[in-house]
C-alpha cells in the first residue's frame, strides 16, 4: 500500500523551489495559487532568506502551495492517483494538502484557508511570547511527565524519541533548567506555541470562514493527525482541519494507523525529508521516497506504481460506503442491526479501541445494501463496514 504525506512548517529551506520553477507549467500553476493566497510564492521559494520564510504568514501558504502543485506533477491525471494511493496524511498544515488530495476540498479553498490560518496564528503568537522545543531521546513517560510538570503541552508527538514541547518562553526556560533524563533539548525557530491553547483565537477565526466551505467525502482515506483515525466524511475533515490549529499533532498515531493499513511505501511531497526520516525510524521495513526536486519525478512515479494498490474505498454514484475510523472490535448498534433503511446521521455501531468506543455514523443514510462485517468482528482503519444505497437514487 502507498501512502502520500505532506510536511508541516519548518520543512522549508531558502531556494528550495528554484529547480521546480524551470517547468513553465509548474510556474503557471504556482502563480495561480499565489494569486488566491495573495502572496508571491515563487519569490519566497527562490529568493527569500531563511528568516523571511520562517514567518508563519509566508511559510504556511508556501508549503501548501508547493505540495499541491507538485502533486499535479506527480499525477498529471488525478484519476491515476486514485488508482494507486491507499491513504493520505499531512503533518500540521500539511493536512490541508492531504484534504485536497483526498478531494474533500479544492486547492483554491485550501489556499484561502491556509492564508487565513497563517495570518491568524501569527497574530495569536504575537499576543504572548511563546515557543517550541524539540525533546530528542529520553524515556517517553519521563519526557511527558516533565512537560506536564512545567505546564507545557506536548504539541507534536512524532514517534519514538521525538516529542515537541510548547508553551510560554518562561515555561520553556524552566524546562531547559530541569530537563528529563537522557534527553536532548533543541529550541525550534518558530513564532509561537502552535497546536496549543495559545492558538485558540486563530481557531475561532478560521472556524467562521470554514462555515462557508463546501466539502465532499474523501475519495481516498485521510488519516487525521489529531488521533490517527481514518476519516471519510468531508465535513469532519474540515472540522478537524480547523481544530488541529490548537490541538496537538499525534503523528505517532498516524504512523500506527499506516502500519495497521499495511503500508509498504511512503512518499513525501516537497519540501520533503522530515516525515520520511521519521518513518525510517518508526516503521522498519517500509520503503520511503522523499520527493525534493523535479528530476526525481520519474523515479517517484515508479515508486508509486510499485506500492500502489488504490484506495480502500471504491466510490461510485450508485452507493455509499461507511468505513471504520480505527482498528478495533466492531459492535453493531442494536437499533440498526435488522433495519432496511437508515436515517441520515444514525449511529450504526462503535469500534472498541484501547478501552474507548468510537462511534460510527452513516452520515447520509440510505437503504442497506449489505453489511460487510458482523457484530464482534475485528476491523482495520478504513475497512468498509456497510454499503448503502442513497435514498432517491435509481
Average pLDDT per consecutive 10 residues, the chain (394 residues; last block may be shorter): 96 97 97 97 97 95 98 88 92 98 96 98 94 95 96 95 96 96 91 94 96 93 96 94 97 97 97 96 96 98 92 60 93 91 93 92 90 94 90 52
pTM exceeds 0.95, yes or no:
no
Q: How far is the CA of 264 from the CAs of 50, 51, 165, 177, 259, in angstroms?
A: 34, 37, 31, 42, 9
Identify the DSSP state of 347. E
- Spot the catalytic one: 34, 48, 92, 247: 92
Question: Residue 267 in contact with residue 291, Cβ under 8 Å?
Answer: yes
The pLDDT value given to residue 284: 93
Match domain 2-124+197-307 to its CATH number in 3.40.50.970, 3.40.50.10470, 3.30.420.40, 3.40.366.10.
3.40.366.10
Judge whether 114 and 93 are in contact, CB under 8 Å. yes
Under a CB-based contact definition with an 8 Å cutoff, are residues 237 and 102 in contact?
yes
Annotated catalytic, 102?
A: no
**Strand arrangement of the beta sheet that strand 153-157 belongs to:** 153-157, 162-168, 130-137, 183-187
User: Got the DSSP string for 68-132?
Assistant: HHHHHHH-SSHHHHHTTEEEEEESTTHHHHHHHHTTSS-HHHHHHHHHHHHHHHHHHHHHS-EEE
3-state DSSP assignment of residue 298: helix
CATH H-level superfamily of 127-187: Malonyl-CoA ACP transacylase, ACP-binding (3.30.70.250)
Select from 180, 112, 176 the least CA-distant residue to 142.
180
Q: What is the pLDDT of residue 316?
A: 47
For strands 265-268 and 2-6, give the pairing: parallel
Q: Comparing C-alpha atoms, which of 77, 70, 100, 88 is closest to residue 311?
A: 88
Q: Which of 195, 198, 205, 307 is catalytic?
A: 195
Whole-number pLDDT of residue 392: 53
Active site residue 92: yes
Coil, strand, or helix at residue 242? helix
Question: What is the fold of 320-389?
Answer: OB fold (Dihydrolipoamide Acetyltransferase, E2P) (2.40.50)
Question: For the chain, what are the domain ranges?
Answer: 2-124+197-307, 127-187, 320-389
Place of cell 508547493: 66
Amino acid at each position: 500500500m502507498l501512502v502520500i504525506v505532506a510536511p508541516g512548517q519548518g520543512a522549508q529551506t531558502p531556494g528550495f523551489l528554484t529547480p521546480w520553477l524551470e517547468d513553465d507549467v509548474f510556474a503557471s500553476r504556482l502563480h495561480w495559487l499565489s494569486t488566491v493566497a495573495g502572496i508571491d510564492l515563487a519569490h519566497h521559494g527562490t529568493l527569500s532568506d531563511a528568516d523571511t520564510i520562517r514567518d508563519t504568514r509566508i511559510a504556511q501558504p508556501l508549503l501548501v502551495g508547493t505540495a499541491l502543485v507538485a502533486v499535479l506533477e506527480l499525477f498529471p491525471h488525478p484519476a491515476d492517483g486514485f488508482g494507486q494511493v491507499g491513504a493520505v496524511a499531512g503533518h500540521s498544515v500539511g493536512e490541508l494538502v492531504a484534504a485536497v488530495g483526498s478531494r474533500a476540498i479544492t486547492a483554491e479553498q485550501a489556499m484561502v484557508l491556509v492564508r487565513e490560518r497563517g495570518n491568524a496564528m501569527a497574530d495569536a503568537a504575537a499576543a504572548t511570547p511563546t515557543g517550541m522545543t524539540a525533546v530528542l531521546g529520553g524515556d517517553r513517560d519521563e519526557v511527558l511527565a516533565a512537560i506536564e510538570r512545567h505546564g507545557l503541552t506536548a504539541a507534536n508527538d512524532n514517534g519514538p524519541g521525538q516529542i515537541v514541547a510548547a508553551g510560554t518562553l518562561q515555561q520553556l526556560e524552566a524546562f531547559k533548567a530541569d530537563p528529563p533524563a537522557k534527553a536532548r533539548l533543541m529550541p525550534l525557530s518558530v513564532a509561537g506555541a502552535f497546536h496549543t491553547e495559545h492558538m485558540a483565537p486563530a481557531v475561532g477565526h478560521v472556524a467562521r470562514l470554514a462555515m462557508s466551505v463546501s466539502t465532499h467525502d474523501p475519495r481516498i482515506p485521510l488519516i487525521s493527525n489529531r488521533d490517527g483515525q481514518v476519516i471519510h466524511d468531508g465535513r469532519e475533515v474540515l472540522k478537524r482541519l480547523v481544530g488541529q490549529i490548537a490541538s496537538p499533532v499525534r503523528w505517532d498515531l498516524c504512523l500506527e494507523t499506516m502500519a495497521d493499513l499495511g503500508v509498504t511505501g511512503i512518499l513525501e511531497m516537497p519540501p520533503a525529508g522530515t516525515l520520511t526520516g521519521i518513518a525510517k525510524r518508526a516503521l522498519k521495513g517500509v520503503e520511503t521516497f522523499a520527493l525534493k526536486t523535479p528530476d526525481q519525478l520519474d523515479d517517484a512515479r515508479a515508486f508509486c506504481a510499485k506500492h500502489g494498490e488504490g484506495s480502500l474505498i471504491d466510490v461510485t454514484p450508485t452507493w455509499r460506503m461507511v468505513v471504520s475510523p480505527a482498528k478495533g472490535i466492531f459492535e453493531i448498534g442494536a437499533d440498526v442491526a435488522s433495519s432496511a433503511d437508515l436515517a441520515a446521521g444514525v449511529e450504526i455501531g462503535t469500534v472498541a479501541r484501547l478501552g474507548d468506543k468510537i462511534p460510527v455514523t452513516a452520515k447520509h443514510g440510505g437503504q442497506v445494501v449489505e453489511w460487510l462485517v458482523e457484530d464482534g468482528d475485528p476491523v482495520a482503519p478504513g475497512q468498509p463496514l456497510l454499503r448503502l444505497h442513497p435514498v432517491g437514487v435509481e
